[in-house]
Amino acid sequence: MKLLRYGQRGAEKPGILDNNGKIRDLSGQVDDIAGESLTAAGLAKIATIDVGSLPVVAELGRLGPCVSRTGKFICVGLNYADHAAETGAAIPEEPILFMKATSAITGPNDNVIIPRKSRKTDWEVELGIVIGDEARYVTEADAMKHVAGYCLINDVSEREFQAERGGQWTKGKSADSFGPIGPWMVTRDEIADPQDLKMWLSVDGTMRQNGSTKTMIFGVSFLVHYISQFMSLQPGDIISTGTPPGVGLGMKPPLFLKAGQTIKLGIEGLGEQTQLTVDAA
């Protein structure tokens, strides 16, 4: 299933994409794509619905973030061997974890807002894991049972804030609009192998990233297992799993975003996003 949310910011309704690519209204069936709806039992209930009987959304307007009420937005740094190489970083011995503020979450095609005083805003196409059932101290063998599905993420980053302003990476990752997710969450059963997905990102029509989840250092099941040793994972929590090479920071010379540019990105089976960059008010 491809589950989504549509409507104006703060008033989004739940929806589902049918086999003909039409969006159907789920608001009469579930309150939101969040919480209990993302558990195994919740998804099984949605799967019994006759999608063809649901109202078609005639005027779509805006797509919102595909998941709501996310409690934790956890990111994994330097998780692609080829990306670590382009930045001159060593291959991590364990996953590098940092948090992205949930206030950064936005719709897949909303504007990306370049923060005030930013000089190094960058792009990162990433595979997102959406947690379904609570995960606490899970084994790697059981980890996938706790995954509701996957989504496309642009882990927008301000590199100066991230690396040159002291402290941890969070301040360079958490500006409003720095977490576009969607267009939809694809349930786990529809992705045969999350470690074999093509992914790409372009800026103003120029391809910048063209990679695959094959080069992830730590895979999906290991990450869910690993993170659950340090904190419980709740329904709707998101894990952003790292990016392949081609980020602006890794170019020679480095290249960063400015207002008025168009970012497009996609992951095989998970859809595409398009964002316009604008300056913060």
Backbone angles phi, psi at 14, to 5 degrees: -75, 145
Backbone angles phi, psi at 221, to 5 degrees: -65, -40
What mean pLDDT is reported for the chain? 96
Are residue 11 and residue 108 in the same domain, yes or no?
A: no
**27-39 in b/e burial notation, b at 16+ Cβ within 10 A?**
beebebbbbebbb
- In terms of Cα–Cα distance, which of 232, 231, 214, 222 is closest to 268? 214
Are residue 101 and residue 167 in the same domain, yes or no?
A: yes
Taking phi over 0 as left and psi of -120 to 50 as alpha, with beta for the rest, 48 belongs to alpha
What DSSP element (H or E) covers 75? strand 73-77
**What does the pLDDT look like over 179-234, one tens digit per residue?**
999 999 999 999 999 999 999 999 999 999 999 999 999 999 999 999 999 999 99
- Residue 68 in domain: no
- Residue 67 in domain: no
- Residue 197 in domain: yes
Cα separation, 110 vs 263, in Å, equals 11
Cα separation, 12 vs 230, in Å, equals 32
Are residue 110 and residue 25 in the same domain, yes or no?
A: no
Question: By the 8 A CB rule, do 139 and 221 touch?
Answer: no
Are residue 121 and residue 250 in the same domain, yes or no?
A: yes
- Residue 65 in domain: no
Question: By the 8 A CB rule, do 76 and 97 touch?
Answer: yes
Are residue 47 and residue 176 in the same domain, yes or no?
A: no
- In terms of Cα–Cα distance, which of 103, 110, 130 is closest to 2? 130
CATH, residue 230? 3.90.850.10
- Residue 97 in domain: yes
Are residue 33 and residue 105 in the same domain, yes or no?
A: no
Question: By the 8 A CB rule, do 203 and 251 touch?
Answer: no
| Average pLDDT for 156-179 | 93
- Residue 59 in domain: no
Q: What is the pTM of this model?
A: 0.96
Are residue 36 and residue 160 in the same domain, yes or no?
A: no
Question: By the 8 A CB rule, do 263 and 201 touch?
Answer: yes
Are residue 10 and residue 131 in the same domain, yes or no?
A: no
Pairing of strands 185-187, 2-6: antiparallel
- Can you name the residues that pair with 271 across neighbouring β-strands? 267
Q: Which residues contact 278 (CB under 8 A, 6 or more apart)?
A: 111, 112, 113, 114, 259, 260
- In terms of Cα–Cα distance, which of 33, 268, 249 is closest to 155? 249
**What does the pLDDT look like over 14-26, one tens digit per residue?**
999 999 999 999 9
Cα separation, 214 vs 127, in Å, equals 12
Is the per-residue pLDDT at 162 higher than 80?
yes
**What does the pLDDT look like over 31-82, one tens digit per residue?**
999 999 999 999 999 999 999 999 999 888 899 999 999 999 999 998 998 8
Are residue 30 and residue 115 in the same domain, yes or no?
A: no
- Residue 62 in domain: no
Are residue 16 and residue 145 in the same domain, yes or no?
A: no
Are residue 111 and residue 45 in the same domain, yes or no?
A: no
Are residue 43 and residue 116 in the same domain, yes or no?
A: no
Provide the domain count of the chain.
Answer: 2
- Residue 253 in domain: yes
Domain with 215, as residue range(s), is 73-279
Give Cα 83 distance to the centre of its chain.
18
